[in-house]
């Protein structure tokens, strides 16, 4: 039952697989009878090629029978249908047991080559997953297979099954699915989104049906554009028209839809074996008209999901985007708007990669990447800056100076507020420190540090004893932030790929514990940080074997305090105790003492003005303003 999975629980999946099994047997129809109540018989009958007793034992009674290796990629067709071009659905030999969704025992009757066989199959808890309770053989004409079961559970509704199955197999007019005596014509299907007549040339018009199959099924290989000529399928449905890929067939929206192009009468461009069309000017026009129509339909369907995709990517890159200057944020937002407008079917992964690249461009433009390299120079190398500056352009200097100014204003704000008893570490000090992780060392001067789901799970477990009712209320806005009764903790990590197993692991964790303004760091605070690091390392909730660097930051350090402590083998954990003033001094040194030289630059600014410059307008307000402007433009036009 574990192998069968949803096949054993979902009537729609089970019956879809049984119909696909009949398709693979070259059937022209499948007739399904669904009873009104439990305890009555469910029947699935087809006119496919059937099975001989030997084939039944070999194919049916083998769990996980590999159809492709034994029978190939094409359907097994009866003699009178050998000229049909039909590709099989089956792969892993599981779908034939779909009746186990309704009962633990079912019957099979199959006719082929003048012989008939009746079999009763039942699941067991012994050495074999199912057994053959009985078998009976008899002479019989014709071909086909009939499955029956007394419904004990999962009784399906005929109307729902009829709609699902007709949508799954509507791509071939030579295959009919009947449920309780009724089939669904193409033009009456509940999933029909659009029906239109398209003019290809003055002499040729086609009727097109755009259909939503409502649910993604396991048998989705035949989704795409299906061409019907004179009531017969040409080739196999595909989203590739000639050399044009209309949509990536792996996407959810592609798997959910089918397009039928109906061409009445004979069509001289069909190949003799009906495997496709000839290469001709007329076929090229047909492909172009149909391709343009399908792309426009998908574009209309995708407008609603563009917003969801955009919001998902924004949440993923929120911290990096918030670290940009306001103008750069707007440029990233405008880039996303243009990108999704041109590629409405873009997947979140692709958009995320594009936005990540855009953020890196913006960071480089504002000098962050160059400043990162400069910050790692030794004091002796600083003397060589004059020679380096001689080769810079005016733009190089301007962009780096803009980044330096941003960092200077951060440490200026920290210098003013760290000794203020009223300074709230959550709303004031924490944003300042988060804006400047480079204060803790050149190795942290990187946009790679971000919140991590596994890390937050571990943090929730470790800090729950000290958590308050508001500890995680802001987890969506700031997933890296924990608010405890007497402190605020930031927890972020870098990620790396483990070459041995190709899995993403945490590489290095940065933990910052901030005390309120004018606070003293005690030995108890150091021991608490020690416990946090030790608990994280031994929690079993962290991916890989990362190193943890923890910083406890306050206004001053208590007497006889140890300022550095290591934990575990190879210094996997390291705790540093420091003050806000020490961070300011270190930052000033890393910025080549420019703050001292430019001190007059900030004297005229009040503390609120300094904070306002650091804590710039949030990204969401920027996007909301941009969205309002866009709406106004649309209304005006």
Contact 561, 577 (CB under 8 A): yes
For 186-294, CATH gives 3.30.230
Q: What is the CA radius of gyration of the chain?
A: 34
Over residues 598-602, mean pLDDT: 58
pLDDT band, very low/low/confident/very high, at 636 (cuts 50, 70, 90): very low
State yes or no: pLDDT of 628 exceeds 70: no
Taking residue 108's Cβ as centre, other Cβ atoms within 10 Å add up to 20
Over residues 241-247, mean pLDDT: 90
Cα dihedral 172, 174, 179, 184 in deg (nearest 10): 60
pLDDT band, very low/low/confident/very high, at 618 (cuts 50, 70, 90): very low
Query: Who has greater pLDDT, 79 or 469?
Result: 79
pLDDT in tens, 33-46: 999 999 999 999 99
pLDDT in tens, 328-342: 888 888 888 887 777
pLDDT in tens, 355-404: 888 887 777 665 555 555 556 666 556 666 656 556 665 566 666 767 77
pLDDT in tens, 473-506: 444 445 566 666 666 788 888 877 666 666 778 8
Contact 314, 321 (CB under 8 A): yes
Contact 135, 18 (CB under 8 A): no
DSSP string, 90-115: -SSS-GGGGGGGT-SEEEEEEEETTE
Over residues 194-219, mean pLDDT: 81
State yes or no: pLDDT of 637 exceeds 70: no
pLDDT in tens, 98-141: 999 999 999 999 999 999 999 999 988 777 788 899 999 999 99
pLDDT in tens, 136-165: 999 999 999 999 999 999 999 998 888 788
Pick the CATH number of 5-179 from 3.40.50.150, 3.40.50.720, 2.40.160.20, 3.30.565.10: 3.30.565.10
- Given this model, what pLDDT does residue 597 score? 58
- Given this model, what pLDDT does residue 291 score? 94
As a whole number of angstroms, the distance between CA 599 and CA 611 comes to 17
**Nearest CA-CA partner of 184 in 213, 163, 211, 208:** 163
pLDDT band, very low/low/confident/very high, at 181 (cuts 50, 70, 90): very high
- Given this model, what pLDDT does residue 393 score? 59
Question: What residue segments make up the domains of the chain, in order of their start?
Answer: 5-179, 186-294, 408-604
Mean pLDDT of the chain, nearest integer: 79
pLDDT in tens, 551-585: 998 888 998 888 999 988 778 899 999 988 888 88
Which pair of tokens denotes residue 87?
């590709």
Query: Who has greater pLDDT, 345 or 219?
Result: 345
> Exposed/middle/buried for 229, CB within 10 Å: 0-12, 13-18, 19+?
buried
Query: Who has greater pLDDT, 96 or 64?
Result: 96
pLDDT band, very low/low/confident/very high, at 273 (cuts 50, 70, 90): confident
State yes or no: pLDDT of 635 exceeds 60: no
- Given this model, what pLDDT does residue 571 score? 83
**Nearest CA-CA partner of 236 in 90, 18, 84, 26:** 84
- Given this model, what pLDDT does residue 326 score? 78
Dihedral of alpha carbons 375, 378, 383, 387, sign: negative
According to DSSP, the residues that pair with 351 across neighbouring strands are none
Query: Who has greater pLDDT, 538 or 219?
Result: 538
Lowest mean pLDDT among 81-95, 404-418, 537-551, 599-613: 599-613
Over residues 586-612, mean pLDDT: 65
State yes or no: pLDDT of 47 exceeds 80: yes
């Amino acid at each position: 039952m574990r192998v069968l999975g949803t096949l054993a629980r979902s009537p729609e999946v089970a019956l879809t697989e049984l119909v696909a099994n009949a398709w693979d047997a070259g059937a022209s129809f499948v007739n399904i009878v669904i009873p009104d109540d439990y305890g009555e018989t469910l029947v699935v009958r087809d006119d496919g090629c059937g099975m001989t007793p030997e084939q039944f034992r070999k194919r049916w009674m083998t769990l996980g029978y590999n159809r492709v290796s034994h029978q190939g990629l094409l359907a097994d067709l009866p003699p009178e249908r050998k000229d049909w071009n039909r590709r099989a659905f089956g792969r892993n030999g599981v779908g034939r047991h779909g009746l186990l969704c309704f009962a633990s025992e079912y019957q099979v009757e199959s006719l082929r080559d003048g012989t008939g066989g009746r079999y009763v199959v039942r699941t067991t808890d012994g050495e074999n997953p199912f057994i053959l309770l009985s078998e009976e053989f008899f002479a019989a004409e014709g071909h086909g297979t009939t499955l029956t079961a007394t419904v004990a559970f999962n009784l399906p509704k005929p109307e729902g099954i009829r709609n699902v199955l007709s949508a799954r197999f509507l791509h071939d007019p030579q295959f009919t699915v009947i449920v309780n005596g009724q089939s669904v014509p193409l033009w009456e299907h509940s999933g029909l989104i659009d029906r239109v007549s398209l003019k290809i040339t003055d002499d040729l018009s086609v009727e097109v049906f755009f259909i939503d199959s409502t649910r993604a099924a396991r048998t989705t290989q035949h989704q795409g554009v299906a061409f019907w000529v004179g009531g017969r399928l040409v080739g196999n449905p595909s989203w590739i028209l000639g050399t044009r890929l209309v949509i990536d067939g792996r996407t959810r929206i592609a798997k959910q839809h089918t397009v039928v192009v109906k061409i009445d009468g004979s069509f001289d461009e069909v190949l003799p074996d009906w495997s496709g069309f000839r290469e001709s000017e007329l076929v090229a026009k047909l492909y172009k008209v149909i391709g343009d129509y399908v792309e426009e339909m998908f574009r209309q369907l995708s407008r609603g999901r563009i917003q969801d995709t955009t919001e998902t990517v924004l949440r993923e890159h929120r911290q990096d985007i918030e670290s940009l200057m306001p103008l750069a944020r707007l440029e990233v937002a405008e880039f996303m708007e243009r990108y999704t407008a041109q590629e409405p079917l873009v997947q979140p992964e692709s958009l995320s990669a594009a936005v990540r690249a855009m953020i890196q461009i913006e960071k480089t433009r504002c000098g962050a990447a160059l400043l990162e390299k400069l910050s790692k120079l030794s004091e002796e190398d600083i003397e060589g800056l004059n020679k380096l500056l001689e080769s810079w352009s005016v733009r190089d200097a301007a962009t780096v100076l803009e980044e330096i100014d941003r960092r200077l204003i951060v440490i200026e704000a920290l210098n003013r507020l760290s000794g203020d008893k009223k300074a709230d570490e959550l709303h004031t000090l924490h944003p300042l420190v988060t804006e400047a992780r480079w204060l803790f060392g050149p190795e942290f001067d990187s946009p790679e540090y971000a919140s991590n789901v596994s890390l937050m799970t571990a943090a929730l477990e470790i800090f729950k004893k000290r958590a308050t009712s508001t500890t995680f209320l802001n987890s969506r806005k700031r997933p890296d932030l924990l608010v405890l009764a007497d402190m605020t903790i930031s927890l972020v990590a870098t990620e790396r790929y483990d070459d041995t197993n190709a899995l993403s692991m945490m590489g290095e964790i940065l933990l910052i514990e901030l005390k309120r303004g004018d606070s003293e760091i005690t030995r108890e605070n150091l021991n608490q940080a020690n416990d946090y690091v030790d608990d994280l390392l031994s929690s079993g909730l962290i991916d890989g074997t990362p190193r943890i660097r923890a910083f406890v930051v306050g206004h001053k350090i208590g007497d006889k305090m140890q300022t550095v402590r290591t934990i575990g083998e190879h210094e996997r954990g390291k705790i540093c105790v420091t003050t806000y003033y020490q961070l300011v001094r270190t930052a000033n040194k890393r910025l080549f003492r420019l703050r001292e030289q430019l001190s007059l630059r900030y004297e005229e600014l009040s503390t609120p003005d300094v904070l306002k410059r650091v804590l710039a307008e949030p990204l969401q307000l920027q996007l909301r303003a941009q969205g309002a402007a866009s709406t106004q433009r649309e209304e005006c036009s």
